[in-house]
Copies of this chain bind each other. A is one copy, B any other.
Amino acid sequence: MAAWGELLAGVRGVLLDISGVLYDGGEGGGEPIAGSVEAVARLKRSPLKVRFCTNESQKSRGDLVGLLRRLGFDISEGEVTAPAPATCLILKERGLRPHLLVHDGVRSEFDQIDTSNPNCVVIADAGESFSYHNMNKAFQVLMELENPVLLSLGKGRYYKETSGLLLDVGPYMKALEYACGIEAEVVGKPSPEFFKSALQEMGVEAHQAQ
């Protein structure tokens, strides 16, 4: 316990991942990882600030929080930093109109975004929507742009569902990068900007976070 005390000296806030840390996704939504519901409850009773920082991009933030609450977690939408809302800020700032290659579950996050006459592509963990047809469509949009911009919500290689390992967005991002000869901009972990925005929202400096 002394070791923990030293390790946490000066720590004021904790950033927690969600998928694979709090729960494993799968049929029927998924299941909590043993001990995680109680761990979150204890952290929230402690003096530490807590924020949830996820690359989850198959679901809107509202749907994700709804699922976590059903699984027993005490979490509200305002405590979650996720790539889709961060991407919307970037799109608005830069006047970008995306062609979306995303899961239907997260599409509502982009409801306020102009997607007419696209001048960039946004790719996220689209699951079954990573069809050959949809990949070609995204590719063709990029090839028609003078300065092709590809925003990727995370760049994970794969993740674990209860049914086994599944490809994440990263491999498909790499596919489009290679096809078009471009480099994607990653929104989400491990981008430093993404962590910084989560810390800002928590009101904690980087050296004070764990």
Contacts and interface: CB of A to CB of B under 8 A. Distances in A.
Nearest to A128: B132
Chain A facing B: main interface SS: helix
Contacts of A132: 126-131, 167
A176 interface: yes
Interface stretch (A52-60, A68-76, A77-85, A133-141): A133-141
Interface stretch (A38-46, A157-165, A198-206): A157-165
Contacts of A174: 171, 174-175, 177-178
A126 B175 CA distance: 14
Contact of A167 (B135, B165, B171): B135
Nearest to A180: B157
Contacts of A136: 165-167
Interface residues of A, number: 31
The residue in A136, A171, A172 that gathers the most chain B C-beta atoms within 10 A of its C-beta is A171
Interface string A153-192: 0000110000011111011101111111100000000000
Contacts of A145: none
Contacts of A172: 175
A186 to B, nearest CB: 13
Nearest to A126: B132
A143 B130 contact: no
A126 B171 CA distance: 17
Contacts of A168: 179
A133 B135 CA distance: 14
Given A136-B165, A136-B166, A171-B179, 18 more contacts: A126-B132, A127-B132, A129-B132, A130-B132, A131-B131, A132-B167, A136-B167, A139-B158, A157-B180, A157-B181, A167-B175, A170-B178, A170-B179, A172-B175, A174-B174, A174-B175, A174-B178, A175-B175
